[in-house]
């Protein structure tokens, strides 16, 4: 069981907006930057959002990140079939003195 | 183009040891921090270890502390993971991952599969 809690699954129809949550504590999300990763089937993960809400070049602006207190959220607007993937949040944890991932959320585009 | 190529995976018996390597190219190796991350079959991502650009600072996940050792050779542009006392729970794809300024886990290798089984 991960220190960061994500819903195991999420779904939406094309064009819809979906949000994936990542819940932590004061020692991780509450005091450090949150990062999000997309893992398409059979591939290595890809950085999607850094320092809570910034997109690397090449990531569509349909993807956005936010953080409030000890929780963070990844939102995907204008959902597309190619967004079907696993999504992970990650953060440094001051108590564990290490980096941690959420358990991952499998996004299905219906 | 940044390239991270892992090697050294394979089948190992329980209690055995294995050394993974990661050959890096396309960037100034000794300027960047590196990590090992693994993913068990059908499971999520697990961060294992971090090493600073000089190699002077390392961190480990509790699950591997005392059994795994991360190291680097900046002259050879290579990252290593020495894994001892391996058990079935260590079966996974192991990724070599580069940090960049403000970008945690920015670049990933293709991974190498480690299978612990008798």
pLDDT at A24 over 80: yes
Strand bridging mode B10-12 / B112-116? parallel
pLDDT at B70 over 90: yes
pLDDT at A58 over 80: yes
Report the alpha-carbon distance of residue B102 to residue B116 in Å, rounded.
35
Give the chain A residue whose CA is nearest to the CA of B4: A44
Among the partner residues A35, A44, A96, nearest to B108 by beta-carbon distance: A44
pLDDT at A1 over 80: no
pLDDT at B21 over 90: yes
Torsion-angle region of B74 (φ positive above 0: left; ψ -120 to 50: alpha; else: beta): alpha
B5 at the A interface (CB within 8 A)? no
pLDDT value of residue A63 = 98
pLDDT at A31 over 90: yes
pLDDT value of residue A14 = 97
Among the partner residues B104, B108, B111, nearest to A35 by beta-carbon distance: B104
pLDDT value of residue B102 = 74
Query: How many CB contacts within 8 angstroms connect chain A with chain B?
Result: 59
Q: Three-class SS string for A34-82?
A: EEEEEECCCCCCEEEEECCCECCCCCCCCEEEEEECCEEEEEECCCCHH
pLDDT value of residue B4 = 98
Report the alpha-carbon distance of residue A93 to residue A100 in Å, rounded.
7
To test the contact with chain B by mutation, choose from A55, A99, A101 the residue with the greatest count of B C-beta atoms within 10 A, namely A99
Contact yes or no for B62 and A98 at CB 8 A? yes
Give the residue from A14, A12, A17 showing the smallest Cα distance to A106.
A12
pLDDT at B24 over 80: yes
- What is the band of A110 on the pLDDT scale with cuts at 50, 70, 90? very high
pLDDT value of residue B104 = 87
């Amino acid at each position: 069981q991960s220190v960061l809690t994500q819903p195991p699954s999420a779904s939406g129809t094309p064009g819809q907006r979906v949000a994936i949550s990542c819940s932590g504590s004061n020692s991780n999300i509450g005091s450090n930057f949150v990062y999000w990763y997309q893992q398409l089937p059979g591939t290595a993960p890809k950085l999607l959002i850094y320092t809570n809400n910034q997109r690397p070049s090449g990531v569509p602006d349909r993807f956005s990140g936010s953080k409030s207190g000890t929780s963070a959220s990844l939102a995907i607007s204008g959902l597309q079939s190619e967004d079907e993937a696993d999504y992970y949040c990650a953060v440094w944890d001051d108590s564990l003195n290490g980096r941690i991932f959420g358990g991952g959320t499998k996004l299905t585009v219906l | 183009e940044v390239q991270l190529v892992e090697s050294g995976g394979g089948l190992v018996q329980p209690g055995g040891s294995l050394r993974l390597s990661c050959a890096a190219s396309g960037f100034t190796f000794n300027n960047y921090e590196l990590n090992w991350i693994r993913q068990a079959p059908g499971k999520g991502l697990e961060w294992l270890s971090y090493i600073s650009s000089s190699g002077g600072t390392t961190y480990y996940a509790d699950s591997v502390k005392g059994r795994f050792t991360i190291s680097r050779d900046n002259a050879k542009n290579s990252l290593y993971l020495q894994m001892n006392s391996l058990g079935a729970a260590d079966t996974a794809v192991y990724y070599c991952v580069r940090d960049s300024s403000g970008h945690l886990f920015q670049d990933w290798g293709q991974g190498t599969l480690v299978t612990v089984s008798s």
